[in-house]
Structure 1
Amino acid sequence: MSAILFGSISTIADTSELQRQAFNRAFQAHGLDWCWHREEYLTMLEKSGGRDRIAEYADAIGQTVDAAAIHRSKSEFFQNSLTADRVHPRAGVFETIQGAKSQGLKVAFVTTTTQENILLLMAALRSSIQITDFDLILNADSVDRPKPDKAAYTFALEKLGEKSADCIAIEDNLGGVESAIAAGIDCIAFPNENTAHHDFKRASYMVDRLDFDELQKFIMSN
């Protein structure tokens, strides 16, 4: 193994509930009586794309809305929630990053969220995880095609100068897993609070916390 590729914000800090709450606040701000309860939201997360999720929901209930404007509001509410008192590294993430760096492995953040989200996340986690811990960080402007397309991972491999067989991806959602596999990368499912019930059968295996030694053993056994 030569590189560990974290695939989304919620593989580093579980922000899934903050995302759902931000959607509901955006709906209220736009005068909508929508409220995405957790059980309903869990099913929605089986597909990627926040703006598309809003548009599809509106179509399903026969309403016309400005999905882009609502999503912009949602992003603002979400960004305001990325504070040190509400965002913390997930179990084993800090230790895995440090273990990788101590062994000379590369660590990348292969996300397609906005650069602003990334900077706010890193600011909230700065007491334990730094931007400089990553050899590469992608954002929404890095590729034209978002996950589950393989473009983000293909681009990351190119920039890192690594082969897919020498890397391992960590993803918290089905679209991310599909993206990594499409790029030929073994993927560990690390579900967040709201994706734990999803069927991650295409992942190499699933964990509820990261363990650097276990990741190394997995690579050596393949």
Structure 2
Amino acid sequence: MTAILFGSISTLADTSEIQRDAFNQAFAEHGLDWTWDRETYAGLLDSNGGRDRVASYAAERGEDVDADAVHATKSRIYQETLRSTDVSPREGVAETMRAAKDEGHQLGLVTTTSADNLAALRDALSGKVDFDDFGVVVDQSQVSERKPDPEAYTVALRTLGVPADDAVAIEDNLGGVESARAAGVEVVAFPNGNTVDHDFGPTRRVESVSLEDLRA
């Protein structure tokens, strides 16, 4: 194993509930009588892309909704909340990153979220996780297809100069797992609070991350 690739914001810090709350606030701002409770939101997380979730949900209800505008409002609220909330890294993340760096492993953050969301997370985790340790950070602006397409991983591997079979990915959702696998990368599922009940099939699951577990 040469490279460890964190696959989403919530593999570093579990912000899934902040995301859900931001959606609900955005719905209210746009005059929508929608509320995504945890069960509803968990069911929507089997696909990637918040804008597409909004559009699909509107279509199912037969409502004409500007999904781009709603998602933009959600993103603003999410970023503002992140920067004003005491956010901690998930269990084992900071220690694993330090140990990996000490042993000469490369680190990457491979998402298809926006650069603005990543900047907010970087601010929120300042002093706890050093984003400068990532040899590559992939975001939505660098790919033409979102996960579960493998493009984000192929970009990361190419940038790091690492073959797919010499990397391991950490993912918290089904689309991310599919993306890593499609790129030929071994993947470990590290579910967040809203994907903990998802069926990751044969993918190995962990409750915390450690360098030793990632080598297994």
Question: TM-score, structure 2 length as denominator?
Answer: 0.97
Q: Confirm or deny that 1:213 pairs with 2:212.
A: yes
Aligned to 2:42: 42
Of the structure 1 ranges 128-137 and 8-17, higher mean CA displacement relative to structure 2 is found in: 128-137
The 1-side partners of 2:37 and 2:56 are apart by 16
Whether the aligned pair in 2 keeps the contact of 1:177 and 1:202 (CA below 8 Å) is: no
The 1-side partners of 2:84 and 2:98 are apart by 20
Runs of at least 5 residues in structure 1 that lack an aligned partner in the other structure: none
Aligned to 1:186: 186
How much has 1:84 moved relative to structure 2?
6.1
Aligned to 1:32: 32
Alignment of 1:99-178 (within 5 A): 99-178=99-178
Aligned to 2:73: 73
How many residues align? The count is 216
How much has 1:214 moved relative to structure 2?
1.9
How much has 1:202 moved relative to structure 2?
4.3
The 1-side partners of 2:84 and 2:26 are apart by 22
Whether the aligned pair in 2 keeps the contact of 1:84 and 1:125 (CA below 8 Å) is: no
Give the partner amino acid of 2:210. Answer: D
Give the partner amino acid of 1:76. Answer: R
How much has 1:213 moved relative to structure 2?
1.6
Alpha-carbon spacing, 1:102–1:84, altered in 2? closer, same or farther (3 Å): farther
The 2-side partners of 1:19 and 1:59 are apart by 21
Question: TM-score, structure 1 length as denominator?
Answer: 0.95
Alpha-carbon spacing, 1:48–1:202, altered in 2? closer, same or farther (3 Å): farther
Alignment of 1:82-93 (within 5 A): 82-83=82-83, 85-93=85-93
Share of identical aligned residues, percent?
50
- Tell me the alpha carbon deviations over residues 15-61 of structure 1, each in whole angstroms, 9 at most, x when there is no partner: 10000000000000001111111111110111111111111111111
The 2-side partners of 1:86 and 1:41 are apart by 23
Runs of at least 5 residues in structure 2 that lack an aligned partner in the other structure: none
Alpha-carbon spacing, 1:98–1:84, altered in 2? closer, same or farther (3 Å): farther
SS at match of 1:137: strand
Aligned to 1:3: 3
C-alpha RMSD over aligned residues:
1.0
